[in-house]
Amino acid sequence: MAMRLIRKTYSYTALWMIPVVVLGSLFVFLMIRYIAYEEIDEFLAYEMDRLVSYHQEHQDLPDFHNAVEIIPDLSFEQPFYKDTLILETGDNELIPYRELWFTIQHEDRDFTIVLRHLMLGKDDVFQGSMIILAGLVILIAVMSMLALNQVKQRIWKPFYQTLSTIRQHKIEDPPPHFPETDIDEFMQLNKALQGFMKKMSDDFRNNKAFNENASHELQTHLSVIRANTEKLINEAEPGAPGLEELGRIGESAGKLSRIQKSLMLLSRIHNREFSNLVPLDLKKVLDSVLPVFEDPISLRNIQTTISASHCPLVMDEGLAEILVGNLVKNAVKYNVPDGYIRIALDALHFEIANLGKPFEGDPAMFTQRFAKGPDGNTGIGLAIVGQICELYGFRLSYQVENKTEHKITVFFSS
């Protein structure tokens, strides 16, 4: 699922914070222990110097309340530090202590003096580390969010302006002018987009002009062919040689004219030239289209079943008529004598099913442009329906059930 840039940045920042928190916890824990050892050792060394000075000045051992423990006839060459655990009788708990052992000679005897100082337990150090680190993480997270929001609002402002300009641009309009920016990357982006959109607009105008000119010329010459063909047919004697061929020429010219108009319509839909969006009820469109096909339905004795309710949509009214008309026309044209048509319409979908010739291929081929069915007919009508569905975000489904029932469904919510 797509994610906004700022949220993506938050996610990556949070992921990077995990190793930072782990390593930071270890670092803070070790630093607190190191500082605690340094302070305690410094204090014990100060006490040792004070007691040694006292002995040198008074030639007497210190009182017991100043020296935690005095061990006679035990000596060490150098003072040393030592960690130990002492049972606290009241709480029945082992308490960590730091000891400093050193030797004093008094009246020709060696006395070892042991100084002790209460230490912070590992649990206490860890708890303190977590509290400190949690505060730092919260502070960093808050500051990062504020900083990222400021970056988004200031640095990314030209990007969002460019994005807004692109969204509002229509292909038939001249190339847009993007806002000025002093950020080199955004300047390059705007320059590239402007060049690309200029070429796209030029290509669109040239293609549109070519299609309109080609359509006009083709329709003109097709009209001449049809008019002269009809004139020759009308002037010819019944049963005259070539009369049947003239009929086929006129029929082919008419078919070619309809195909050309359909192709032009496809091109216009693809270029999104239908932008007149209006609220409409597709049921009313269906009610206006069905009477057009009453005669062919009656001639082929096709039974129709219609279940239609209100279907509010926002789209071009002309395209709505083309959508419904092509689907109904397709169901009538490719039906069989004494067949049936079932139409269902509601706010969620439009479904039309008809009885047709047996078919075992892939029904999706009928929605492709220039696809031909088994009888040689092109699928341009359904291609137009597919293009309209793509334009408005509808989903088109074509199914063949029991080899003979062709069912087309347009889902208005994809």
**Pairing of the two strands 277-281 and 312-316:** antiparallel
On the question of pLDDT at 350 being above 90, the answer is yes
CA–CA separation, 240 and 405 (whole Å): 43
Please provide residue 334's backbone torsions phi and psi, each rounded to the nearest 5 degrees. -100, 20
pLDDT tens for each residue of 75-125: 888 999 998 888 877 777 788 888 999 998 888 888 888 898 888 776 777
Which CATH superfamily includes the segment(s) 277-411?
Histidine kinase-like ATPase, C-terminal domain (3.30.565.10)
pLDDT tens for each residue of 192-204: 988 888 888 888 7
| Mean predicted lDDT score pLDDT of the chain | 82
Q: List the chain domain ranges.
A: 5-152, 182-273, 277-411
Total-model pTM: 0.53
Q: How many residues in total does the chain contain?
A: 414
One-character DSSP codes across 118-152: E---HHHHHHHHHHHHHHHHHHHHHHHHHHHHHHH
What beta strand segments (E) does 145-200 contain?
none
- Calculate the alpha carbon distances from 246 to 6, 225, 258, 260 in Å: 70, 10, 19, 21
Task: Provide the sign of the torsion angle of the four alpha carbons 253, 258, 262, 265, taken in this order.
Answer: positive
pLDDT tens for each residue of 280-295: 999 999 999 999 999 9
On the question of pLDDT at 372 being above 70, the answer is no
pLDDT tens for each residue of 312-322: 999 988 889 98
Tell which CATH architecture fits domain 182-273: Orthogonal Bundle (1.10)
- Calculate the alpha carbon distances from 10 to 15, 25, 150 in Å: 9, 22, 14
On the question of pLDDT at 370 being above 70, the answer is no
Number of CB atoms found within 10 A of residue 322's CB: 22
The two domains 182-273 and 277-411 share their CATH topology (first three levels equal):
no
On the question of pLDDT at 1 being above 50, the answer is no
- Calculate the alpha carbon distances from 337 to 301, 341, 359, 399 in Å: 6, 12, 17, 21
Residue 83: partners with Cβ closer than 8 Å, 6 or more residues away? 96, 97, 98, 99, 119
CA–CA separation, 345 and 108 (whole Å): 115
Q: What percent of the chain has pLDDT over 70?
A: 91
Q: What is the CA radius of gyration of the chain?
A: 45
CA–CA separation, 201 and 14 (whole Å): 43
On the question of pLDDT at 378 being above 50, the answer is no
Comparing 385 with 274, the larger pLDDT belongs to: 385
382 in Cβ contact with 326 (< 8 Å): yes
* Mean pLDDT, rounded, for 360-370: 62
CA–CA separation, 323 and 385 (whole Å): 5
pLDDT tens for each residue of 145-176: 788 777 777 778 888 888 888 888 877 778 88
